[in-house]
Structure 1
Amino acid sequence: MIGRITSVFGVKGWLKVFSYTDPKEGILNYPDWTLDLDGKRIPAKLEEGRRQGQGIVVRLKGINDRDLARTYCGAEVRVSTAELPPLPDGEYYWFQLEGLDVFTVDDECLGKVHHLMETGSNDVLVVQATAGSIDQRERLIPYLPGEVVQSVDLAAKQMVVDWDPEF
């Protein structure tokens, strides 16, 4: 997921989009979208878009009035992972980290990465307990590769962290 349609903008079918890309305008680099709305996947084509204040506004092909645009509010914006540019070794897209099992350096299971949060200083892993974890606590673990995050193994779907389970 690279964004979410939040509301309509104007009367000609434009939509406000909350972009998860960095920079926010990065969402405009992907012309072929899939909108995930109420369990339905709807193909969409980005016609044009621009920065508007703190957010992004877009016009999608075939949507040219406010009432039709309103029906897309709340849709998650997705693109094919094949369209994403490759990252340097040791860097990951958030979606790649979500779902990884998290273990301490002492091989204690803390749970599974549910999602990540962006904070001012660093990203934070939200790790939720699983049936195999040492307890049923949710943990917020800073995503600091080389410091807290010791290794990421996408093939094994595991991450090792140097983290005290008491936190």
Structure 2
Amino acid sequence: MTNPPTLDQLIELGVVQDAQGLQGQIKVRPHASDPVALLSCKEIWLSLIPRRSAGVDPSLEPASLRLYRVKQSKFHSGTVLIALDGIADRDQAEALKGARLLVGRELFPKVESDSYYWVDLIGCQVNNLQGESLGDVIEMTDNGAHGVIAIGDAESQAVKYLVPFVKEIVHQVDLPNKLITLDWQADWL
């Protein structure tokens, strides 16, 4: 990516929680329990504009993005420690506290055939085995035991169902056609 992308073209993978040590490393709170995409990135975009900020002029978004080359990253005690090119001391790292880490989706590593990045499921239409439409995937979350699909109206973001993302319920995920088939009845709330 040569020109700064818009925030809509990037996927947020975590938030800078704090500085780590004296050499300018940052401590990142990843949004995923297994931050494989964050750990594999060789470059990241940082933005100090909070997610979905009310009153932020959209024309400021590209100017808020800054591209950094990742020198080193490692998973440590539930956080990701990252050394960035150009960030050499603790003061520079502390100035990034609260920044969002963003990457282009095309930079994510390939996944196995039965695995999915949750971001790819957002917006998929969800049908049950009887062919009834249940709505669209609005959000994916984790309850500790398994993933949970929030299904509802994509336009209003109103959630109608919270469904466990487990193989007993999820019968098919067809990403090319943006369709998920579940063993779930329309009258189950």
SS across alignment from 1:68: helix
Instruction: Report the counterpart of residue 9 of structure 1 in structure 2.
Output: 20
Structure-2 separation of matches of 1:112 and 1:71: 39
Q: Does 1:35 align with 2:35?
A: no
Structure 1 residues 67 and 34 mapped into 2: Cα distance closer, same or farther (>3 Å)?
same
Q: Within the alignment, does 1:139 sit opposite 2:161 as a pair?
A: yes
| Unpaired runs of at least 5, structure 2 | 1-11, 50-60
5+ long unaligned stretches in structure 1: none
- Displacement after TM superposition at 1:90 (Å): 3.2
**Bigger relative contact order, structure 1 or 2, given CA contacts below 8 A and separation 6+?**
2
C-alpha distance in structure 2 between counterparts of 1:88 and 1:41, whole Å: 31
TM-superposed deviation, 1:21: 5.0
Q: Which moved more, 1:81-90 or 1:39-48?
A: 81-90
The aligned residue for residue 162 of structure 1 is 183
Corresponding letter in the other structure for 2:137: V
Structure 1 residue aligned with 2:125: 101
| Residues 46, 65 of structure 2: 8 Å contact kept | yes
How big is the alpha-carbon RMSD for the aligned residues of Structure 1 and Structure 2? Answer: 2.8
Q: How does 1:54-133 map to 2 (within 5 A)?
A: 54-130=78-154
On the 8 A contact 2:123/2:154 being kept in 1, the answer is no
Aligned residue identity for 1:55: T
Structure 2 length-normalised TM = 0.70
Q: Which moved more, 1:93-102 or 1:109-118?
A: 109-118
- Contact 2:13/2:31 (<8 A) preserved: yes
Q: How far apart, in 1, do the equivalents of 2:155 and 2:74 lie? A: 45
Q: Percent identity?
A: 25
> Which whole-Å CA distance do the structure 2 matches of 1:153 and 1:51 have between them?
31
> How far did 1:124 drift?
1.0
Offset at residue 142 of structure 1 (A):
0.8
CA deviation map 1:64-87 (0-9, x unaligned): 234432342333323333333322
Q: Which amino acid aligns with 1:155?
A: P
Go from structure 1 to structure 2 and tell me whether the alpha carbon gap of 1:75 and 1:138 turns closer, same or farther (over 3 Å shift).
farther
Q: Does 93-102 or 1-10 show the bigger shift?
A: 1-10
Please give the secondary structure, in 2, of the residue aligned with 1:72.
Answer: coil
For residue 64 of structure 1, what is the amino acid of its counterpart? Answer: A
Instruction: Give the Å deviation of 1:18.
Output: 1.6
Distance 2:15 2:128 in 1: 34
Letter in 2 for 1:9: Q
Please state whether the residue corresponding to 1:79 is helix, strand or coil.
Answer: strand
- Structure 1's 86 and 54: CA in aligned 2 closer, same or farther, altered over 3 A? closer
